[in-house]
Structure 1
């Protein structure tokens, strides 16, 4: 087996990645001139694997060659330290800003902070402490936090207070390092505690910390409440991070009902300099589908 094939086939086995090297993706191949995007759209690993394979370094180089200036990786905390360091160096060399990774607290529905149980809080705070070390290693600023499910036996006001108190503890860990946990309201299940932007806004105001802000996921919030521009405007002073996905389908912009060109124009006019994570799948398979994603972003970014 050729070494290049071996590297690609074993890049993601048992949590270990290939670290690139002499056989990694050659970013100086003949490529179109990189696109100059108006906003910092952040792809994730796997989005362009049919172009360059599974190696994370090759994928990062490909993203940079296409003009993307940011990257996000929900699973960064679970990657080997050597892989994290290699990815961080590649991002630094290629001018890519690190976006969110998820604080490891046991899954979206697990260890709900709404319950107020010390064992759940301890798991959350341990994840926050470990996240600080990962953030330093990969030059990250934002980390996603999902508080968990409802605690149905408790009044909603008590649940709100429990979540706020737990998040205050987490903010105390992040604040000295200038890091920000971003709370993500989700539409995946009616059992999830955090679902709407106004609710998340209230929680952030209650925590009252620069280290606790909103992750406004446009796909999820289109499903739960709609009125995207209006609701973003109402909660704008607490929004620190944005994620993307069209609805229905959670694929790239232009495949669903959301007028992303207008939404992105509004975000740009608000002076947003943060990252917009491309947390969605590809609507088509193979290289054709990957190119369709790139072309879609060029189209909706053309709002000037």
Structure 2
């Protein structure tokens, strides 16, 4: 080969390598984790994987889907603008993901207690139900969280129960024609909260007697308030429509606390549960390392078959 032709070909080859090298570098450094086929519909929330996916909600949903998560939940959905709600709804539909709960906006967990039986409190709740119907349409949601509020200490517990049942019946009348379900969540955050245990929530749901009023069984809260998780879930199972997750102590991902989540998930799967299990907890480790550890923790506890 003549020296001139050799030099031209060498220059062209070097140029091509120079042009291609940034792309090759990017591909070689792109983090890839194979999609995992989970046995249950675990639902992450926004912010759980932002170190991997960035701050854009749609990119985060894409990342969740790429890891194998088939559901998503967002407590703050009603607070997001309509355009973002519609974008999230489209993103979930594109990826075949199930929308989990969002919270019906009634002013906060302790506010506007339905146990008090006050019409102005009930009207705030009912207005939240009406607005929730429109939000649910945009994101194709079926379930929405309701916390009835605090105790009304001046009233006997039976009267408080009746007040809550009556208010929830009126809420169910709004949701039922649309095939929507409010899920009542007993919490451990404060001794002043009216709803504390699964048996109490079961009683309320039986009193409301509507397919639009069921139990949200948050495993973290119920481990703190009553323990004996599988037994109590079994007692109230026919009213449980939604489940949330968090290990105790710490309210982080499974495997970080005392709850035997592999055994609990195995039992839930054997019950034939097809609904969503919301990942309502923090990450025990910060950064990308913590996000990867969280994904691996779910793979570990989902390996029960």
Shared topology, TM-score over 0.5?
A: yes
TM-aligned CA deviation for residue 30 of structure 1: 6.3
Aligned match of 2:271: 270
Q: Give TM-score scaled by structure 1 length.
A: 0.90
Structure 2 CA distance for aligned equivalents of residues 223 and 260 of structure 1? 15
Matches within 5 A, 1:247-262: 247-262=248-263
Deviation string 1:155-214 (CA, Å, 9 cap, x unpaired) is 000000000000000000000000000000000000000000000000000000000000
Structure 2 CA distance for aligned equivalents of residues 173 and 42 of structure 1? 26
Deviation string 1:119-170 (CA, Å, 9 cap, x unpaired) is 0000000000000000011000000000000000000000000000000000
Of stretches 29-38 and 164-173 in structure 1, the one that deviates more from structure 2 is: 29-38
Structure 1 CA distance for aligned equivalents of residues 204 and 65 of structure 2? 36
Matches within 5 A, 1:90-129: 90-129=91-130
Q: Secondary structure at the match of 1:193?
A: coil
Q: Tell me whether 1:66 sits opposite 2:67 in the alignment.
A: yes
Aligned match of 2:14: none
Deviation string 1:74-101 (CA, Å, 9 cap, x unpaired) is 0000101000101111110011110000
Matches within 5 A, 1:144-293: 144-293=145-294
Structure 2 CA distance for aligned equivalents of residues 237 and 230 of structure 1? 13
Deviation string 1:15-38 (CA, Å, 9 cap, x unpaired) is xxxxxxxxxxx9xx6623200000
Structure 1 CA distance for aligned equivalents of residues 93 and 141 of structure 2? 11
Deviation >3 Å, runs of 4+ = none
CA radius of gyration, larger in = 2
Q: Secondary structure at the match of 1:293?
A: helix
Return 5+ residue gaps in structure 1 as ranges. Answer: 1-25
Aligned match of 1:295: 296
Structure 2 CA distance for aligned equivalents of residues 145 and 238 of structure 1? 15
TM-aligned CA deviation for residue 53 of structure 1: 1.3
TM-aligned CA deviation for residue 49 of structure 1: 0.6
Q: Give TM-score scaled by structure 2 length.
A: 0.90
